[in-house]
Amino acid sequence: MSVESGVGWLSGVLETFDWQWTNGHVRKEHPEYDLLPSEYFKRQVYGSFWFEKRGIDAALKEFPNNLMWETDYPHPTSQYPSPNSSAVHPAEYADAALENVPEETVRKVLQDTPARIYGVRL
């Protein structure tokens, strides 16, 4: 689980990892690894976002089962408005960030994936 790292970078990095994996013929040296790096990510890695505006749509489209929204409260970088912060209220951010995302993905990001990961019964 990667927290406080955002998700906008995932698509590019995983594309690079897959390309390097394939181009470098890593499977010849390590036949025990049967998946591409992006496939391992989809199988067992999770990420979260809390302030991003760019890149999250692509990440959510590509990894709808692996991403969660966080507020990061009470850290100084949290998505919580205060006199010292330019952050908007968390609900306003979530509404804006997820307005063009399919409802099924929104439900995963806000509820289903965190509940599954952390063993919360709904």
d(CA 84, CA 77): 10
Please write the tens of the pLDDT for every residue from 8-62. 999 999 999 999 999 999 999 999 999 999 999 999 999 999 888 888 999 999 9
Query: What Rg, from alpha-carbon coordinates, does the chain have?
Result: 16
> Whole-prediction pTM value?
0.86
Query: Which is nearest to 70 in space by CA: 52, 45, 43?
Result: 52
Please write the tens of the pLDDT for every residue from 59-85. 999 999 999 999 877 777 777 777 777
Spans of all domains in the chain: 10-118
pLDDT at 53: 87
pLDDT at 36: 96
To the nearest 5 percent, what fractions of the chain are helix, strand and coil?
45, 5, 50
